[in-house]
Amino acid sequence: MKLRYVLLAAAALVATPFAAQATPDDDLQHYREFFMKKFPGVPLEEFANGVYAIDATARENWEAIEEFPPYEPDVEAGKVLFETPFKNGKGYASCFPNDGIGVAQNYPMWDREKGRVVTLELAVNECREANGEKALKPFKGEIAQVLAYMAYTSRGNITNVEIPKDDPRALEAYESGKHFYFARRGQLNFSCAHCHFDNAGQLLRSDRLSPALGHTTHWPVYRAKWNELGTLDRRFKGCNEQVRAKALENQSEEYRNLEYFLAHMSNGIPLNGPGARK
């Protein structure tokens, strides 16, 4: 059966579990309650493991893979890249708090001066450009390796993405990301929420759909399908294409706002990236 018909058979209309005038804190409470009720007995921190928090059989295979993680060489390569000075003698450490070690849990963050969401990927490339270096190419390769190393140094740190209450632009960006998540798009007329809210835990062909809770905690990810490490924007792009929608540019405002919303909804969950997925 073609993907279109599998999806149409699996998905029902998704009712947003958020009230129209809810604050981000209200959203976070409703978001957690929705998934804790849907998957009773799964501790909050377990949602960092994605579908492996709710699928015991898949978890066994994943745990075996994690004994010799395929992303390990990328973490090592990322460490070398991170510690190699730029031509001007400075390095990534000069651009981040705590020299860039153990800070991934705070991204994306709101940049008051520029009035926009800054993801860790964007911050890495802006650091390079500020020091006379070219931005790294998107989706995979060196950018994913640098992010993997920074994520690895942040393992166990609790996601803590803030939406400043005194800056309405930040709330607007958050609401934009929330709208993107629940809006239908593409020829299949599907939203992100169709797969990862009401149908989370259901089978789509041989794949079990992961719950949205904790979706940002384990990136970048080594996917067997890719046979390499990839960034979260690469996954956003792939999801758009799967519903027959036009993918947006890497680090577009829409994708950054989407990540802002999703990361805030994962507040309180520890980071465990980089990760390995099917």
Q: What is the pLDDT of residues 113-129, one digit of tens each?
A: 999 999 999 999 999 99
- Distance in angstroms (rounded) separating the CA atoms of residues 214 and 257: 16
Q: CB within 8 A of 45, min separation 6: which ones? A: 269, 270
The second-level CATH assignment, the architecture, of 72-152 is Orthogonal Bundle (1.10)
Cα 178–213–75 angle (5° rounding)?
105
Confidence of residue 198 (pLDDT cuts 50, 70, 90): confident
What's the whole-number average pLDDT of the chain? 92
CATH number for the domain formed by residue range(s) 3-70+168-277: 1.10.760.10
4-35 pLDDT, tens digit each: 433 333 343 344 555 557 899 999 999 999 99
201: which 2 tokens?
């835990």
What mean pLDDT do residues 50-77 have?
A: 96
- Distance in angstroms (rounded) separating the CA atoms of residues 257 and 119: 9
Burial 199-223 (b: 16+ CB within 10 A, else e): bbbeeeeeebbbbbbbbbbbbbbbb
Domains 3-70+168-277 and 72-152 alike in fold = yes
Task: Give the domain ranges of the chain.
Answer: 3-70+168-277, 72-152
Rounded to 5 degrees, φ, ψ at 34 are -60, -50
Positions marked active-site:
239
- Based on DSSP, count helices (H) and strands (E) in the chain, helices before strands: 10, 7
Q: In a 3-state reduction of DSSP, which class is residue 22? A: coil
